[in-house]
Amino acid sequence: MNAPERSGKGEVRRLATYCYQCVAGPDLLQVKVADGVATEVEPNFGACDVHPGGGKVCVKAYGLVQKTYNPNRVLTPMKRTNPKKGRDEDPGFVPISWDEALDTIAAKLRAIRETGLLDESGYPRVAASFGGGGTPQSYMGTFPAFLAAWGPVDMGFGSGQGVKCYHSEHLFGEYWHRGFTVSPDTPLCNYVISCGANVEASGGVVGVWRHANARARGMKRVQVEPHLSVTGACSAEWVPIRPKTDAAFLYALIHVMLHEAKRERLDLPFLAQHTASPYLVGAHGFYLRDPATGKPLLWDRRRGAAVPFDTPDTDPALEGAFHADAVEIGPDRDELARGRLAGEPAFAKLVAHIAPYSPEWAAAICDVPAATMRRVANEFLDHAQVGATIEIEGRTLPFRPVAVSLGKTVTNGWGGFECCWARTVLATLVGGLEVPGGTLGTTVRLNRPLSERLASAKPGPDGFLLPPLNPTDKAHWSPRPNIRNAYRSMVPLAADGPWSQALGPTHFSWMFLDGTPEGLPKVTPPEVWFVYRTNPAISFWDTPAVVERMARFPFVVAFAYTRDETNHAADILLPDATDLESLQLIRIGGSKYVEQFWEREGFALRQPAVAPRGEARDFTDIATELARRTGLLDKYNAAINKGAGGVPLKGERWDHSLAPDRVYSRDEIWDRVCRAASAELSDGAESHGLDWWKAHGLATKPFARTDWYLFPTMVKQGLRFELPYQERLWRVGQELGRRLHEHGMRWWDKQLAEYQPLPKWKDFPGEWERAMVAQGGSAEAYPFWLLTARSMQYSWGANAGVQLVKEVADNLTGHKGVVINAGTAARLGIADGDLVEIATPQRAVRARAQVRQGIRPDTLLLVGQFGHWATPHAKDFGMPSLNTLATMSLELTDATGSGADIVRVRLARVAA
Amino acid sequence: MTRWAMTVDLRRCVGCQTCTAACRTANATPPGVQWRRVLDMEVGEYPEVRRAFVPVGCMHCDDPPCMHVCPSTATRKRADGIVTIDYDLCIGCAYCALACPYQARYRADEPRYAYGEPTPPEEARLDRGRLGVATKCTFCVERIDAGLAAGKTPGVDPEATPACVNSCISQALQFGDLDDPQGKVAGLLATHRHFRMHEELGTGPGVYYLWDRADG
Amino acid sequence: MKPPTEFGPRPWQQTSWDARAATNFILGGTGTGLLVAAACFFAPQAGWRVLAALGLVSVAGGLGAVWFELGRPWRFANVALNPRTSWMTREAYASGFVFAFGAAAVATGAAWPAWLAALAALAFVYCQSRMLRAAKGIPAWRVRELTPFIVTTGLAEGTGLALALAPALAGGAPRWVGAFFLAVVVGRIGAWLAYLGAASRHAAPRARAGLEAAGRHVVVLGTVIPVVAAAVAFALPAVAAVALALGGLAALAAGWRAKHAIVLRAGFNQGFALPALPVRGAR
């Protein structure tokens, strides 16, 4: 792989490396280097049998050469000379030496250590924001070790989380089936209902690869979405649904399955044995429990009696009304009833709950014909093959080749919970959750261990997975959060795992700077804020407000590729060596984000293909120097030893640990990490160093395909999926309400209403219409729904300044303006290419009209996240962003702490 | 005989432009010169509308109009079907660009760089011989020839395969010998329904668009 | 030649040839007509050599303009390498004969080189029409009805220009030049209408609109005015020269306008179209 070849001009080398510029990675590639200059990116065909996307990389990776040589890069450390901050202030950056830059930062940090790591509100004085759905971690070398050595750091200043992610899916997916992201088992699935999921844009190489194969094989995908996205384009059918009404659509499908289809078409054994469907629900909405053991009861038709759920050899009833000697336990362990209690199976509750939600009911809400919904529901059932099995790696497993996938704005904000619940219920009704062909979780981020999804599935109470909930009981709940976004206090489902800080209501950190609501300690600006590979001034919602707030931060350290809208507020710019210039080893394989299901697992190396430009430095060297200068070297090395570099350096049969007091070079550190990775892969038999990894690029071992599915683990552990009834959340919500009210906190009451055992349809689009009224507008005056959609060419890539990316992305609709329905445009006298204004009562942006047929007449689409005003090259695009118009607000925050990418706007042609 | 040809599976293409970008870097074409690109097409009216992504470029026609009009004989057709341009012969009259029904041809008169001034790779790869003359997709003919010389099979071995095909993440693009009945391209054409762009013009394009299974 | 600012799938105006190339068709046709008129109608009348020389200048001017459009102008001689299939090469050869015989005629004042020059000029303008038709990428150009129009407009323009210049340079025009002029003007409008009909069946709507706009000039400026002028000339010999001169200029202007439109307004390509849509997944 590294063997040099001679070209006509000189030496040509091909170096293996990885691309993890989007959450759907990592993917593997080769960089062609001629005479020390990176010239081309190519797939790594040597890894085509390892990587589930044929060893290929997507368009973003082809921009890496330009990214490296972009003349707009920041190539020396710089400091701000204008103490005033704000969009209209010129920062007056001047070059400084690395020594000056690092000394300045270290002095700030040492001063903080002397005064205390937490401020008077109890919040960390140091904060850090990284964007890209966790991808920056694959580029920041050993910086996590520095952060670990430091102590408490507030990672909860959002840069996109909550509105740009799949928030309810993350939280509920992990809760129900360890699915931080949820995917169809595409290689086996035959029928997918895709509500706004944009896998062709956000599924990366592997997503595109798998779905293309599935389409050619004959998989039918029905895309339910207000505009004809690239994924809609590649689907068998497009259903143009009214924005934010997907829950009604999904409820109607459940209605057809429960009230129109014959019962035996459902997977009744799965419901009875592998879900909470037979658990008896009492008068107060809580499970009837065995008075002796506290275990939920079910009605055993074989015995004709109520028995604890884990009684062997039962034939549980799913419908009917029963009486049992039981106890009903409410919030805070309150005993609500005891004795001979009446109860109904949870499934029967579901059937009754869903009765009003017929396709005819939904048609009026969704603007989708009832017949379409009825047909889709029946096609789903037809394709489900209830009762079928499949043999995988010698094991016989249920085979249910149907799935429902959900998109960003569908799973975010109000209605997100209902959609996630309905999707997962649809899967359970046909026994299609976590089985071959069905709906699968791919990875975990809130539960541990991060790299082993199945191992994270630990037994919890009541026969369910251990719920990763933050405490709501009086003894453990606290109104003094650990970080500013208060996820531990406000969002039980956000858990307290590795990524929880970033999955709380991350806009609270920004919002509450202007007034902290009652009960929480006053939210303060962090004294030092590290920013890397993120641009919240562009990527968050309500970006003008974010820009204004970050201007108040006293000391901002930005690892800067080019100048941008966020580092406009920086005090120090540090040029880090970029993708093709720096060194890191990461884990690959297993099952990762989105659609990355591998049959191998192991490690891949990102190696310097070329020397860093200018004075750019490898992130590991920067982290080491910061650790040394702040007196944290021993803790930093210890963190690396513990695994902050991705691999613990010491195992049962190997020890490549760093000495605590020594300064190691980048190559020395990663040589140790490489050796530990080799040892982990070979159970200690090998200890290949950095040179071996540079030559080979990656190393893997088999990952069982059966490990894509959680179902066998659930069966092995005797666990049930906590569906369809949400008794625990019903309790948790009430407990949280009590805690908040005990502290005078009434501002979360609307969100508390979301804790329901069976979620009701509410007028979700109305939330945004009412918000418009609150802003001084009206639904009639602002008649359009402005939406956004991911751009595959840009999403997560921090590559808006790369010319090649802009050039090729412009070949696709939506990259040069706002997409408008042709009929609407004609009605408003707007022609393709005309300048139009999109406005809320507060703000307005301008864009060129892209007049198309593939969008609802009441919907406008602004693809991607542009609106740059500082980033070189990107600031000349003339493309606005929905983020400029969206406003952060408590009213538009759902119970999980997320909002959605949707705004009511008006539209008018700008007079020439 | 050998007839190099490409198949484009329209069912698979997602319009990601990876091939466009791969071609731009593999062939070091200047900004805006996209020998391979993917069109974003809409057919029908709301709500009965379909959207398709259509990779286009030089079709390496059997009977290339560009070759016939070329006054300098710079444009030629090889026995294996690849339409080539002799940059040393071309006068840059752009007549071929008008004769091509697929808008596959470009002429850049001055060096153009991504950011105004040349970056090191742009400087290293600038070929002044390609200024002021017609350029277009070559099916990466140098790779094919070098690959064949090294005993590789175009369309099978990446070293001998066009960069766009190598890069394609949906496996929509395939390449091979049309005259090899056992080959990939012939096999795909036998098992799929397909068309060629502007077939009515009689140019005999060497790029085939698959749109359904033959038994569909 | 700049990279296109738009690229399909709908047809868009070609950017490969700009006004310089259009000038070649404009001046080439006019020069052709002028040479034909000078050789056939004015020779051996005084001043015919001036008209013939102006015809040569016009053709040369057109070729000079297009030379400036070449990406590699100093390789212009390579234009001669493909007489087998390229109408551009053939145009170049024809231009060689035009200049050789035309120069001989102008230099010697002999009639036979003038007639040969006129023949070569007709071949030249025919080549120009075939050049456009061979541009298979442009639906409005690739129709066979274009040839009669390009040839007749060249003759109409050249004759018209000759009529306009005759009073000053040739002491007036022979009476039957007017008849010929009338004939080619009428022939041209017939050719134009046939061409417009054929082109409209294939060209993009915006190309059609470009042609139709120019067509109004071909009708009024290029046909009605010259016909009226010819009628006036026949009816009122006293003002015949002025009438024919004005009619000639009108015919010339209309021809230029039409060719400008053909190259720069109707030069829309075919775009891209799908005869079948992909079947994605199950039907």
Is the pLDDT at A3 greater than 60? The verdict is no
- Considering the four listed CATH numbers 3.40.190.10, 3.40.50.150, 3.40.228.10, 2.40.50.140, the one that applies to the domain covering A179-447 is 3.40.228.10
State the CATH number of the domain containing residue C32.
Answer: 1.20.1630.10
Number of domains in chain B: 1
The predicted-structure confidence for B3-52, as pLDDT tens digits, reads as follows 999 999 999 999 999 999 999 999 999 999 999 999 999 999 999 999 99
Chain A residues with CB under 8 Å of B24 CB are 62, 804, 807-808
The C-alpha atoms of residue B160 and residue B149 are separated, in whole angstroms, by 9
Chain A residues with CB under 8 Å of B16 CB are 58-59, 200, 208, 792-793
pLDDT at A548: 97
Contact yes or no for C75 and B72 at CB 8 A: yes
Q: What is the ipTM of this complex?
A: 0.98
- Which segment of A551-555, A609-613, B83-87, C202-206 scores lowest on mean pLDDT? C202-206
Contact yes or no for C280 and A221 at CB 8 A: yes
Chain B residues with CB under 8 Å of C272 CB are 39, 41, 54, 56, 102, 197
Sign of CA dihedral A305, A311, A315, A319: positive
Closest approach of chain C CAs to the CA of B187, in angstroms?
19
| Residue C104 domain flag | yes
Contact yes or no for C282 and A235 at CB 8 A: no
Domain of C50?
19-264
Q: List phi, psi (to 5°) of B36.
A: -125, 135
pLDDT at A1: 38
Residue type for position A310? D
Query: Cis peptide leading into A724, omega within 30 of 0?
Result: yes
Strand A389-392 relative to strand A395-398: parallel, antiparallel, unpaired?
antiparallel
Closest chain C residue to B102, measured at CA: C137
Q: Are A422 and A195 in contact (CB under 8 A)?
A: no
Contact yes or no for C280 and A235 at CB 8 A: yes
Q: List phi, psi (to 5°) of A15.
A: -115, 130
The C-alpha atoms of residue A888 and residue A751 are separated, in whole angstroms, by 15
The residue whose two tokens read 């760089």 is: B113
Domain of B87?
4-213
Chain A residues with CB under 8 Å of C10 CB are none
| Residue C100 domain flag | yes
The C-alpha atoms of residue A194 and residue A250 are separated, in whole angstroms, by 11
Is the pLDDT at A9 greater than 60? The verdict is no
Closest chain B residue to C5, measured at CA: B32
Summarize the confidence of residues A702-724 as an average pLDDT: 97
Closest approach of chain C CAs to the CA of B85, in angstroms?
14
Question: pLDDT over 70 for what percent of chain B?
Answer: 100
pLDDT at C5: 62
Residue A848 at interface with chain C, using a CB cutoff of 8 Å: no
pLDDT at C72: 98
Q: Are A246 and A410 in contact (CB under 8 A)?
A: yes
The C-alpha atoms of residue B34 and residue C141 are separated, in whole angstroms, by 25
**A266: which residues sit within 8 A by CB, 6+ positions away?**
A257, A258, A386, A429, A430
The predicted-structure confidence for A387-403, as pLDDT tens digits, reads as follows 999 999 999 999 999 99
**A404: nearest Cα among A387, A422, A386, A389:** A422
Closest chain B residue to A53, measured at CA: B169
Closest approach of chain C CAs to the CA of B151, in angstroms?
36
Across the B/C interface, how many CB contacts are shorter than 8 Å?
172
Q: DSSP letters of A526-563?
A: -SEEEEES--HHHHSSSHHHHHHHHTT-S-EEEE-SB-
The residue whose two tokens read 């891949």 is: A604
Residue C272 at interface with chain A, using a CB cutoff of 8 Å: no
Across the A/C interface, how many CB contacts are shorter than 8 Å?
20
The predicted-structure confidence for C76-97, as pLDDT tens digits, reads as follows 999 999 999 999 999 999 999 9
Chain B residues with CB under 8 Å of C78 CB are 71-74, 89-91
Substitution target in A190, A213, A215 with the highest count of C β-carbons within 10 Å is A215
Nearest to A811 among B37, B115, B120 (CB): B37
Contact yes or no for C79 and B91 at CB 8 A: yes
Closest approach of chain B CAs to the CA of A906, in angstroms?
21
Is the pLDDT at A450 greater than 90? The verdict is no
For C96-119, letters b (16+ CB in 10 Å) and e give: ebbbebbebbbeeeeeebbbbbbb
Residue C108 at interface with chain B, using a CB cutoff of 8 Å: no
pLDDT-derived band at A2 (thresholds 50, 70, 90) equals very low
- CA torsion A742-A745-A751-A752 (nearest 10°) is 10
Chain A residues with CB under 8 Å of B125 CB are 39
Is the pLDDT at C46 greater than 90? The verdict is no
pLDDT at C2: 59
Q: What's A23-67 look like in SS3?
A: CCCCEEEEEEEECCEEEEEEECHHHCCCCCCCCCCCHHHHCHHHH
Question: Subunits with at least 3 CB pairs below 8 A relative to chain A?
Answer: B, C
Contact yes or no for B203 and C79 at CB 8 A: no
DSSP state of A745: -
Closest chain B residue to A206, measured at CA: B169
Contact yes or no for A43 and B158 at CB 8 A: yes
Residue C281 at interface with chain A, using a CB cutoff of 8 Å: yes
Contact yes or no for C281 and A811 at CB 8 A: no
Closest approach of chain C CAs to the CA of B14, in angstroms?
11
Closest approach of chain B CAs to the CA of A564, in angstroms?
17
* Strand, coil or helix: C191: helix
Q: Are C181 and C230 in contact (CB under 8 A)?
A: yes
Is the pLDDT at C1 greater than 80? The verdict is no
Chain B residues with CB under 8 Å of C146 CB are none
Contact yes or no for C135 and B95 at CB 8 A: yes
Residue C134 Cα to chain centre, angstroms: 16
Summarize the confidence of residues A525-540 as an average pLDDT: 97
The mean pLDDT value of chain A amounts to 96
pLDDT-derived band at C175 (thresholds 50, 70, 90) equals confident
Chain C residues with CB under 8 Å of A218 CB are 281-282
Closest approach of chain B CAs to the CA of C54, in angstroms?
26
* Strand, coil or helix: A895: coil
pLDDT at A593: 87
Residues of chain A with CATH 3.40.228.10: 179-447
Summarize the confidence of residues B76-88 as an average pLDDT: 98
Name beta bridge partners: A839: A844, A906
Across the A/B interface, how many CB contacts are shorter than 8 Å?
168
Closest approach of chain B CAs to the CA of A375, in angstroms?
18
Closest approach of chain C CAs to the CA of B116, in angstroms?
16
Token digits of residue A693: 């990894």
Substitution target in C206, C272, C274, C280 with the highest count of A β-carbons within 10 Å is C280
- Which segment of A505-509, A864-868, C172-176 scores lowest on mean pLDDT? C172-176
pLDDT at A4: 42
Length of chain C: 283
Residue A853 at interface with chain C, using a CB cutoff of 8 Å: no
State the CATH number of the domain containing residue B78.
Answer: 3.30.70.20
| Residue C212 domain flag | yes
A75 or C234, higher pLDDT: A75
**A763-909 CATH fold:** Barwin-like endoglucanases (2.40.40)
Closest approach of chain A CAs to the CA of B68, in angstroms?
30
- CB neighbours (10 Å) of residue A250? 30
Name beta bridge partners: A428: none
Chain C residues with CB under 8 Å of A236 CB are 280-283
Residue C128 at interface with chain B, using a CB cutoff of 8 Å: no
* Strand, coil or helix: A197: coil
Token digits of residue A347: 């499934």
pLDDT-derived band at B64 (thresholds 50, 70, 90) equals very high
pLDDT at A632: 98
